[in-house]
Amino acid sequence: MLHQQLLLVVVLGTVISMHVAAVTYEVHAWYSGLSCDGTPYNVFVMESFTCQDAECIADPSTSSTNLGALNTICTTDYMKKIQELFGNSPYIVMEAFRDYDCIAFNYAMGYFASGNCEGSPGFSDFAIATLEDDGSASVFTYDAGLCPVDSLNSSFFADKEALEGHSCDYDGNRWYSSNNNKITTPAPTPALRASTSKGLSTAAAIGITSGVFILVIVLGVFIFCWRRRSSDTKSRQSPLQPTESIGSIQTPPFIPGAPHRHTTGLWDDDVIITKRIPRDKVRIQTRISQGAFGEVYTGMFNGRQVAVKMLLPSMRENLQLVNQFLGEAKMTAAMDHPNVVTFIGVAWDSLSDVCVVLEYMDGGDLRFLLSQYEAKHQPVGFNRQKATIALQVCHALAYLHSLIPPVVHRDLKSRNILLSRSMEAKLTDFGISKERLDTTLTAGVGTSLWMAPEVMLGEYYDDKADIFSFGVVLSELDVHTLPYTNARKGTRDPYGREVTDTALMQQVASGKVQVEFSKVGPPSITQLGYVCVAIDPSLRPSAAEILYRLQTILAHEL
């Protein structure tokens, strides 16, 4: 067998030495606007014998919407070209191969590692790519804009060693990132490139065609042998797949200070390991809320009342959701502010019973309080207590936005503002996890009602998206009702029905509909609310500016 494989290699080398030429790669770069300026949201690379440059044309796959621009570039060094395209922006590159030993190149994909939901070729797929502080990377792909978790396609993880060493992983991929951008296109699997010279003779064309035919046959046999050997090895190793159930995955028992074996999930992340607490010390009590993918219970840990967050039972066997749940826990663990709910720990005996233990807030959420105010016909307008709640929420936002890199909450709403019995407000459920775990309707309250227009439209956004949501929360604090309640009542479709959230938010994005404020209380808060919900993000104040204005109002007007 070894003799046959060596013979194959010799034959392959002979054919290649006769016919090989520099490989040309076709690089496609997609942009969300009508021009090819700025950072592409996706780059795709494949080998090509007939590549032709095409400078910034309308993306054919989005011609019906007139959105999206496509740049096509021919090159022999696609890694260098990817670096040029992304410039100083963070990115992740995945090289995919036809075999499990990373020999036969298939394609390469470059992701804009913004940590946000980005578009993709044709706007039919979307991705969240993130470069973590510990040097690792993750890529989640989705079927729908805004990346709701129920549209998740696949998830990939690469640790620091894989990104720096570019080793071949179990799925036959190699990984690169902007953290290590002094790289060039690896030596490719030799492939014959057809000449495009107009002076090519018939004899030469026949010779090249014959060479290609022979090369394809030899390559096919060679790859089959390698793939078969790799498949046998891989079946013995049984690595984790992105869509694999976690029922058979075993993690080591929790022993404080004990070393953990390497696995391919966030359960082996340093932050998660540091924050892991014994599962048998967490006692579950009464369920207090449930969403589309998770539920929250009251509980006890070390004699202290806590809130315990878990995935729904039907979701706990899904490895992708468990990883995303742990991703939310990791981000929460990094927060340290008096107006952000305190993270206590994460616990599990098996990955199907992972739970996150958080500070318990005994006053419920702000939406519940405002619904009570509405039912009891409490006076609308701002008083000192409401302004103080707004100030505390803004303190939390200013903290998140001051981090390096800034954390964009992306799902700020009254349900995610928790209260103590003494009316101290704290922010919960923030960051990238919102794109993954809680973007669907919960108890009839859609996240889209608080969403900034640029986020809804899939455009670039930053911390000013949170400021828009904060302006919507100010409106809730003022008039007690859900956002746009009166606008919804006054707007009907052609059949006399109330408009959907999507149709309503389209009117918000066009400036036809705004949140409402009462005429009770200081006009300065009303003015602040309206400037926060400006359609143009650049016109919205920063969290620090809002803090100053609220402190001034509390000191002199309330």
- Residues with Cβ within 8 Å of 264's Cβ and at least 6 positions away in sequence, in order, are 157, 170, 239, 240
- Paired with 347 in beta bridges are 355
Q: Which two tokens stand for residue 141?
A: 């792909």
Q: Which of 168, 146, 141, 145 is nearest to 156 (CA)?
A: 141
| DSSP string covering 109-126 | EEEE--SSEE--GGGS-E
Q: 């008039």: which residue's tokens?
A: 479
- E strand or H helix that includes residue 396: helix 384-402
Please give the DSSP secondary-structure letter assigned to residue 276. Answer: B
Candidate list 169, 365, 411, 501, residue with the active-site label = 411
Tokens of 361: 């807030």
Let me know if 37 is exposed, middle or buried by CB neighbors in 10 A (0-12, 13-18, 19+). Answer: exposed
The residues near 506 (Cβ < 8 Å, ≥ 6 apart) are none
Those residues whose C-beta lies under 8 Å from the C-beta of residue 232, and which sit 6 or more positions away, are none
Q: Which is nearest to 217 in space by CA: 3, 19, 2?
A: 19
Tell which residue, 466, 447, 461, 432, has the closest CA to residue 505. 447
By DSSP bridging, strand 54-58 and strand 355-359 are unpaired
Task: Give 184: exposed, middle or buried? Use CB within 10 Å, 0-12, 13-18, 19+.
Answer: exposed
CA distances to 364, 378, 392, 460, 496 from 372, in Å: 12, 8, 21, 37, 30
User: What is the DSSP-derived secondary structure letter of residue 351?
Assistant: G
- Rg of the chain taking only CA atoms, in angstroms: 27
Inter-residue contact 325 to 354 (CB < 8 Å): yes
Beta bridge partners of 282: 301
Q: What does residue 93 show for φ and ψ, rounded to 5 degrees?
A: -120, 130
- Rounded distance between C-alpha atoms, residue 231 and residue 239, angstroms: 12
Strand order in the sheet with 117-118: 117-118, 126-131, 137-142, 152-158
**Annotated catalytic residue 169:** no
Token digits of residue 218 = 């030899």
Phi-psi region of 230 (alpha: psi -120 to 50; beta: other; left: phi over 0): alpha
Q: What is each CA distance from 315 to 201, 265, 312, 492, in whole angstroms?
A: 63, 17, 5, 37
Q: Kindly list the catalytic residues.
A: 411
